[in-house]
Homo-oligomer: A and B are copies of this chain.
């Protein structure tokens, strides 16, 4: 329980100081100035009072119960204070001081010792090396930040103290209101995920914002955030995307994956809203905290000037926001209440000489339209413009309807008072209409996530036991690379369809099996030593008769002997050739934080050259499988272009789900790929033509 951090009844500050410029001064002064609701205990061996409050020479001199202890003393002194704190029953400590892991190996050692001691006494630690924490419901500002933004229902956590400082400053300017602010520092003990979980349950927190550079435990992070997102939005700015680790990879999936893709997939899985910049992080948070989430993505725009209306329509088109079409009744009302020079279609142009009454007429007609999910009211300061009166109207109407309203009062001085009124009444005003549209789009997308009914899964039956047996047998034999021959039974146990095939050891057998399967057939070399069959001449296709088969067999044997004389050859696989399918790839790689991540794309150049692929974390449900298929640019090719038959998308979905479960069920599988997976015409299923897997070596 992290409750004592954020709702303490008493706080002790070790290292509280009266020396201006010292962190210990800034912290105690902030606690006092912000009006902490509980009792304050400055601890300083050299002072009787600190800023007028009685000080204690040592923490042990305090006889009252202490809920929270903030430490602003040198690292060694911190280590020495843990035991006394523990004995006093203190269970929550914020360590602001630096000098630990971030300074090198010596500091890292100190940090480990600190945590060992704290564990012994059941003390939880936020930090070290952090800015501190803020909790506005408790009027607690236990940071050395110069200022605190207004009170509100946004809570924010940050893995960078400097970024948090910048956000605080920006939030003050933008009048965004906060409940909790947490600088995570080195995260020696309390992690970002624990804080997220706390904020998820915190009734004072309506919106969670975060700046993250990484997560400690991917799967915990996923389960916690997935759960919270259903109740409140989480908006995260994730940085550090440019230094994706370059580990050796042997599959297409591995080549195209990476940390950035994994985080993106994780955010999608957890319905986390991703901010690209600090500005977005704060703007989105403020919008969510002030306005209701819209029911859909249809926006009405009201403006008193043409230019900004056009810019807004452009921005809607660019960001995928629908410009609402008004119902007949709305059109009628607008026609009756606005002068003929006005444009009554969306964007509604009340024209330059509009007073607040005209805005009222437009706004009150439009907001009642069932086809309108949200409204952007643009006001440019012109001669007759009444910014305050218009703001009053907007505030009044917004109170009566549960639809989000944004404003763009496109001025500074001239509309200052109007904007102040909007701010006070929690109407987000953005100078630039494009930014308001981005906010609306983000909120509408969140609604879409909330609306996603958890897809009713057909109950998938996987023969997990059989797959496990197969894997174990390979691991026992220290076989870590599986070609298609070795993988077939595993794929069958997870419900995949394979082409008819048989293993032939000589050319006579090859002909016999080919006759049985029916022409045309394909022939592929079977060898555990050969991964890239076609590179060594180990693939022959479109064999139309006995003679083709005989020739292909002989050619293949001589090819392989030439290129890989030492390879063990089990024989050749004679395969049914399916000529009516489209090649796709499904593959997975294992992300160090988030586990198996699935990739999907069309085979050949679509993956290799155009990198037209989609990613999701395993396992995926029907919705996710559907998204993976439809979000690639070459999706129309699967649906069928130029009068072609559509591919069997439903079976493809099914295969993607199955493959994702295979990846999820066996951590022993490092990477895997079915390439190609053949998508046959609608109703005819998908067939795994070739595959390979890489297993974890112990």
Contacts and interface: CB of A to CB of B under 8 A. Distances in A.
B641 A160 contact: no
25 contacts: A23-B383, A26-B383, A146-B414, A159-B307, A160-B306, A161-B305, A161-B352, A162-B304, A162-B306, A162-B307, A162-B352, A165-B381, A165-B382, A165-B411, A166-B411, A169-B414, A172-B413, A239-B311, A239-B314, A241-B317, A242-B313, A242-B316, A277-B432, A608-B641, A608-B642
A278 interface: yes
Contacts of A642: 608
A34 interface: no
Given A213-B310, A277-B434, 13 more contacts: A103-B341, A161-B352, A162-B306, A163-B305, A169-B413, A170-B412, A239-B307, A242-B316, A242-B317, A278-B311, A609-B633, A609-B636, A610-B610
Interface in A203-258: 211, 213, 237, 239-243
Contacts of A240: 310, 314
A240 B169 CA distance: 36
A605 B147 CA distance: 57
Contacts of A475: none
Contact of A431 (B170, B242, B304): B170
Contacts of A152: none
Contact of A163 (B307, B609, B634): B307
A279 interface: yes
Contact of A165 (B161, B410, B641): B410
A612 B147 CA distance: 51
A308 interface: yes
Contacts of A609: 633-634, 636-637, 641
Contacts of A636: 609
Give 5 closest A-B pairs by Cβ, nearest first. Answer: A160-B307, A162-B305, A166-B410, A162-B380, A242-B317
Contact of A412 (B169, B307, B381): B169
A626 to B, nearest CB: 19
A236 B158 CA distance: 37
Contacts of A307: 158-163, 211, 213, 239
Interface in A624-661: 633-634, 636-637, 641-642
Interface string A369-413: 000000000001111000000000000000000000000001111
A633 B609 CA distance: 8
A399 to B, nearest CB: 28
A565 interface: no
A494 interface: no
Interface string A459-500: 000000000000000000000000000000000000000000
Contacts of A410: 162, 165-166, 169
Interface of A: 21, 23, 26, 98, 103, 144, 146-147, 158-163, 165-166, 169-170, 172-173, 211, 213, 237, 239-243, 277-279, 304-308, 310-311, 313-314, 316-317, 341, 352, 380-383, 410-414, 431-432, 434, 605, 608-610, 612, 633-634, 636-637, 641-642
A637 B608 CA distance: 10
B172 A412 contact: yes
Given A170-B431, A308-B163, A412-B169, A241 B637 contact: no
Contacts of A608: 641-642
Contacts of A21: 383
A279 B432 contact: yes
A382 B145 CA distance: 8
Contacts of A23: 383
A314 B170 contact: no
A213 B383 CA distance: 23
A306 B642 CA distance: 53
Contacts of A341: 103
B641 A605 contact: yes
A412 B173 contact: yes
Contact of A278 (B310, B352, B432): B432
Nearest to A278: B432
A413 B161 CA distance: 17
Given A162-B305, A311-B278, A633 B605 contact: no
Contacts of A242: 313-314, 316-317
A694 to B, nearest CB: 22
A170 to B, nearest CB: 7
Contact of A146 (B144, B279, B381): B381
Contacts of A314: 239-242
A405 B413 CA distance: 30
A237, A341, A609: which has the most chain B beta carbons within 10 Å?
A609
Contacts of A146: 381, 413-414
Nearest to A609: B636
A163 B305 CA distance: 8
Contacts of A434: 277-278
A146 B243 CA distance: 49
A609 B612 CA distance: 13
Contacts of A159: 307
A432 B382 CA distance: 31
A286 B305 CA distance: 25
A400 B645 CA distance: 68
Contacts of A305: 160-163
A277, A314, A605: which has the most chain B beta carbons within 10 Å?
A314
A313 B166 CA distance: 18
A166 B311 CA distance: 13
Contacts of A144: 383
A192 to B, nearest CB: 14
A376 B310 CA distance: 35
A172 B416 CA distance: 14
A557 to B, nearest CB: 24
A339 to B, nearest CB: 11
B413 A162 contact: no
B413 A147 contact: yes
Nearest to A159: B307
A352, A410, A434, A636: which has the most chain B beta carbons within 10 Å?
A410
Contacts of A310: 160, 213, 239-240
Contacts of A383: 21, 23, 26, 144
A166 B308 contact: yes
A243, A352, A412, A641: which has the most chain B beta carbons within 10 Å?
A412
